[in-house]
Structure 1
């Protein structure tokens, strides 16, 4: 069925006004993710006595929900996105607080809560909502010059960071704080405040190294090269060559418990090879750079802040995952958006895409009598 560009139905208008580069890159990663989960989770299903395709079926459900989430959010205007983000941010702050007392303790960290029998990670979901809220606060601060809005921005990030450190989750703390600093730089902050932040971050990492045993172990393993998982992942990555060992032929997934999540990029490299890895990096690059290019042509500060920061979130998280898989940085339990297994990770990343699609949509003025949707191709 062919769609006419003169068709003014809701679906047709949506299709012709969304950014195709972002949408189809997102859709491609979702499809690739299902293939990679299928091949990376088979060994774990046997170890846990799960049915065949247990993780693949669950992830397929996550993919469907993620796709629908992105499509629905892409239809919202700026005002609805702000309202939804305010509501989501408030609820998820409460959920983070709830996590500290009643969250599920997994590997010594309370990051998960049970909702209708499903485990959810509030720290994953709060990221896109925080970015929108902070962009809103900083935009208002810039336009009114009232410091109370900057204070609210600082209060927001401190509230999140404190609760994340108490879980503990240093990696997520640094990720969200990095995005916050990035937003401040775009907005324009006093140089002394920026210098202060530059000094604070190393101090936080040093304190975490001394007070959190898992941070101490991971940094030492990285420095002395004693991390078994990272070493094996890097070795098999180097042995894979251009085309890999073939689908299902890799061995990494057989002895890494987190092969389908934290080390999915290494599994992809081993079985599919360097060329597929480079294609994946190219797709992520499109998702990251396309909104930034559009932001250059925007005049609205809120739109510029939101687009650049949401793109940076996908970029920084992907960079951390790939870098830790390549032993460039210490291992960190951070998923690769859309490719790693996990409902919280996949759906929260889809929220980011939904916001990006909404903020980059071409605007149609129906007050024009001679409107032709061809103009918005």
Structure 2
């Protein structure tokens, strides 16, 4: 018999079904994102960012020593702490962009392309000169390089334009995209920025190939591109100087010579973290030539591993796109992967004296807030376009691309 004053409550069966956070039963926005995102691709990017922080820490003492003088005295790890702050800002941006639905990501990129094309046009008027070239806008830490942000937005916008041909064969998408490229190339050459012009042109050609443009078109475009390079060599002093320095070792080759000497100074296994000496003679050791610092302190084997990581990212994306049925998603993701791989390839080739100096950063490894943030946006878009519903299965190898 129950004691007086004690109220007996009705007992209900307990629901034992527990939704595990980030488990397959978690239908929250973050839970869905976790299962849809390419976690292998994300892990490879995180490895690159970690390697980049280590490399900037190794290069920072040399850069701080070079740029200190008079009343300005930088701490040895000055650039490392600044890069760490930029990584802390860029990671949430990358993850946030990767959560966007495809349609929202496409609109975001198109708006971004318009904004940064306008910003690129303003560079000759209000730009800031850095290392002899006017490529930046802003003041102090607020400076940014419009061309860095424009690259991923241009790729996605170009993919959208080319994908419209699948809906209407009569649309002149190739001439339209060519006009857009010509506009951007003209703005870049005014800075001057020959290297970025080549990157934009390479991305355009790659997307034309993927969209199935005829071989006659491609042959004509390759010929036009070669003619443009020859014209730049003949009539554009910056291009003439860079190409002559590379082909004939004319003029000032100190940077590329010192970069190669630094790269090979450590042999296969390197001098160890902080043990490099040649890096103190290397200009831009923390940015354009950080790959050489990695070679000196961590060895040529480490350089080869980094190159393989870049290759793995590009191959991972293209393999994943083999079963992609949407033409826009295919072109956008393939274009972003191509842009990422070409930029890494050019930087490493310059350090190995296989290409003329371009003033181009090594993705996610070189120091630079503008570069890091722009790469985070681009990789966020790539992660957004490669997301997959884990509950759906696709027939393999449904995508057919190529020129006719």
Distance 1:225 1:240, change over 3 A: farther
Corresponding residue of 1:235? 261
1:51 paired residue number: 74
The separation in 1 between residues aligned to 2:109 and 2:246, in whole angstroms, is: 37
Give the one of 27, 30, 38 matched to 1:19. Answer: 38
Aligned to 2:53, which of 34, 42, 47? 34
Calculate the TM-score normalised by the size of structure 2: 0.86
- Provide the C-alpha distance between the structure 2 equivalents of 1:238 and 1:45, rounded to a whole number of angstroms: 23
Using a 3 Å threshold, how does the CA distance of structure 1 residues 73 and 57 change in structure 2: closer, same or farther? same
Partner in structure 2 of residue 166 of structure 1: 190
Per-residue CA deviations over 1:297-336 (Å, capped at 9, x if unaligned) read 1111111111111111111111111111001112221110
* Residue in structure 2 matched with residue 334 of structure 1 by the alignment: 360
TM-aligned CA deviation for residue 213 of structure 1: 2.9
Per-residue CA deviation, residues 334-376 of structure 1 (Å, 9 max, x unaligned), is 110000011121111112211111111122679xxxxxxxxxx
**Distance (whole Å) between structure 2 residues aligned to residue 247 and residue 182 of structure 1:** 39
CA offsets 1:159-199 (integer angstroms, 9 cap, x no match): 11110111111110111111101101111223332222111
State which drifts further: 92-101 or 350-359. Answer: 350-359
CA contact (8 A) 1:269 1:276 kept: yes
- Distance in 2 (alpha carbons) for counterparts of 1:3 and 1:186: 36
Count of matched residue positions in the alignment of Structure 1 and Structure 2: 366
- Structure 1 residues 201-216: aligned runs within 5 Å: 201-216=225-240
Contact 2:288 2:361 in 1 (8 A): yes
Following the alignment from structure 2 to structure 1, what is the Cα–Cα distance between the partners of residues 318 and 48?
A: 20
Question: Match for 1:4 among 8, 23, 36?
Answer: 23
Distance 1:271 1:45, change over 3 A: same
1:302 aligns with 2:325: no
Structure 2: tracts of 5 or more residues without a match: 1-19, 393-404
Larger Rg: 2
Structure 1 stretch 307-316 or stretch 275-284: which is displaced more?
275-284
Native 8 Å contact 2:333 2:385 kept in 1: yes
What TM-score, normalized to structure 1? 0.92
Deviation of residue 215 (structure 1)?
2.4
Instruction: Tell me how far apart the structure 1 counterparts of residues 230 and 199 of structure 2 sit (CA, whole Å).
Output: 16
1:279 alignment partner, SS class: helix
CA root-mean-square deviation: 2.0
- The CA distance in 1 between the partners of 2:126 and 2:261, in whole Å, is 40
Q: Distance in 2 between matches of 1:248 and 1:164?
A: 37
Greater relative contact order: 1 or 2 (C-alpha under 8 angstroms, separation 6 or more)? Answer: 1
Match of residue 250, structure 1, among 248, 268, 276: 276
